[in-house]
């Protein structure tokens, strides 16, 4: 009460109840002292129901334990969210491996199956499964970006450590390391591998500028990345917004920072010579058939059209089937700036 002041203390209903219980308990304690030290009997002089109610009110002080919920519930929820993120990270890792394996199997189908009908049936089934998993991975990356970043960071770290193990074995074979040095170095690297695989820490999402520099064809080229940052702007799109439409002229380069895009391709009705889609991520080379794909963050849209000056043959939107009010961020680099830079 001294810390909060009288007015500040009694603003809380918990403090009011606590003060009332203390006053009644103090009165009951005084009656107990009088009953013990004197001949006065409180049970014969006062209504027993009143005294019983007074003692029962003392148990109400345990209700103050409910105040611990203010501290414990957020911590419990944070622990549950952490466990969910760990399980989702494991699922994301499995999903990425599944998509990679599907793509490799699709490329090997002509060597595995001779029957064209069976080959086309298997190819369509694999493509449908790949799109389904890609969509779920994109939704997970949109809703919990730190999960996807954690998985990618863990995979990159594990790959680097595995390369170090191979280099260590090569150094031993070439005689640069003796048996003891090789064992010590190998055990140290394997400890790091186990730590990387089982450590439950999550990696925070990167800033849009960092994600732009992480694009595969911009890595290691700081001059080009700085040029993109200086001459681009971040655009915010909502669901159902159209990024590019079929038949549009190339307007620039788009780099998806966050969100999920849905791309659909429709072949032209008349001239099939123009059927090659201005789209970088298509995996099906049957340009005379409709196709669909999903684009996740970190990918660029419009590279082919910017340099070939071909009209766009795909329709890219922010999926209307998504639930929620989240938006997507896109780096927009105008084509006239890029073409002028290339000419220079």
The predicted pLDDT at position 342 comes to 43
pLDDT in tens, 170-227: 988 888 888 888 899 989 998 888 887 776 667 776 777 777 777 777 777 788 888 8
SS (H, E, C) the chain: CCCCHHHHHCCCHHHHHHHHHHHHHHHHHHHHHHHHHCCCCHHHHCCHHHHHHHHHHHHHHHHHHHHHHHHHHHHHHHHHHHHHHHHHHHHHHHHHHHHHHHHHHHHHHHHHCCCHHHHHHHHHHHHHHHHHHHHHHHHHHHHCHHHHHHHHHHHHHHHHHHHHHHHHHHHHHCCCCCHHHHHHHHHHHHHHHHHHHHCCCCCCCCCHHHHHHCCHHHCCCHHHHHHHHHHCEEEEECCCCEEECCCCCCCEEEEEEECEEEEEECCCCCCHHHCCCCCCCCCCCCCCCCEEEEEECCCEECHHHHHHCCCCCEEEEECCCCCCCCCEEEEEEEHHHHHHHHHC
Q: Is 96 exposed, middle or buried (0-12, 13-18, 19+ CB in 10 A)?
A: middle
Q: And the tokens for 156?
A: 């990159």
The predicted pLDDT at position 285 comes to 57
- Other Cβ atoms less than 10 A from the Cβ of 330: the count is 24
- Other Cβ atoms less than 10 A from the Cβ of 169: the count is 13
Q: Show pLDDT as tens, one digit a residue, over the chain (344 residues).
A: 666 677 777 777 777 777 777 777 777 677 777 767 776 666 565 555 656 666 666 666 666 666 666 678 788 888 888 888 888 888 888 888 898 888 888 888 888 888 888 888 888 888 888 888 888 887 787 778 777 778 878 888 888 888 999 999 998 888 888 888 889 998 999 888 888 777 666 777 677 777 777 777 777 778 888 887 787 777 777 767 777 777 777 677 777 777 777 777 777 666 555 545 555 555 555 666 777 777 777 777 777 766 666 665 556 665 433 333 344 556 555 655 554 444 44
The predicted pLDDT at position 47 comes to 55
pTM greater than 0.85 (yes/no): no
Strand partners, 108: none
Determine the straight-line distance between the first and last CA of the chain, rounded to whole angstroms.
74
Q: How far apart are CA 177 and CA 104, in angstroms?
A: 38
8 A C-beta contact, residue 152 and residue 95: no
The predicted pLDDT at position 56 comes to 66
pLDDT in tens, 79-95: 888 888 888 888 888 88
Q: How far apart are CA 256 and CA 32, in angstroms?
A: 76
């Amino acid at each position: 009460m001294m810390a909060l002041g009288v007015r500040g203390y009694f603003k809380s209903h918990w403090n009011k109840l606590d003060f009332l219980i203390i006053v009644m308990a103090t009165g009951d304690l005084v009656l107990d002292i009088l009953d013990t030290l004197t001949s006065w009997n409180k049970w014969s002089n006062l209504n027993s129901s009143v005294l019983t109610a007074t003692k029962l009110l003392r148990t109400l002080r345990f209700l103050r334990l409910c105040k611990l919920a203010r501290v414990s519930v957020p911590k419990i929820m944070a622990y549950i969210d952490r466990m969910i993120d760990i399980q989702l990270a494991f699922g994301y890792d499995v999903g990425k491996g599944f998509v990679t394996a599907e793509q490799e199997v699709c490329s090997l189908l002509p060597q595995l199956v001779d029957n064209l009908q069976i080959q086309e049936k298997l190819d369509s089934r694999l493509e449908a499964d790949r799109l389904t998993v890609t969509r779920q991975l994109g939704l997970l990356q949109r809703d919990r970006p730190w999960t996807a970043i954690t998985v990618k960071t863990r995979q990159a770290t594990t790959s680097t450590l595995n390369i170090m193990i191979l280099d260590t074995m090569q150094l031993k074979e070439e005689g640069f390391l003796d048996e003891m040095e090789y064992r010590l170095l190998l055990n140290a690297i394997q400890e790091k591998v186990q730590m990387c695989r089982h450590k439950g820490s999550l990696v925070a999402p990167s800033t849009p500028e960092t994600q732009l520099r992480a694009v595969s064809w911009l890595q290691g080229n700081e001059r080009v990345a700085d040029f993109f940052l200086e001459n681009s702007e971040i655009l915010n799109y909502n669901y159902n917004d159209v990024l590019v439409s079929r038949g549009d002229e190339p307007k620039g380069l788009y780099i998806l920072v966050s969100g999920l895009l849905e791309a659909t391709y429709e072949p032209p009705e008349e001239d099939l010579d123009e059927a090659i889609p201005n789209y970088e991520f298509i995996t099906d080379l049957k340009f005379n058939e409709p196709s669909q794909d999903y684009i996740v963050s970190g990918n660029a849209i419009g590279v082919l059209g910017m340099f070939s000056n071909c009209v766009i043959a795909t329709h890219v939107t922010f999926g209307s089937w998504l639930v929620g009010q989240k938006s997507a961020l896109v780096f927009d680099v105008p084509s006239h700036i890029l073409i002028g830079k290339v000419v220079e």
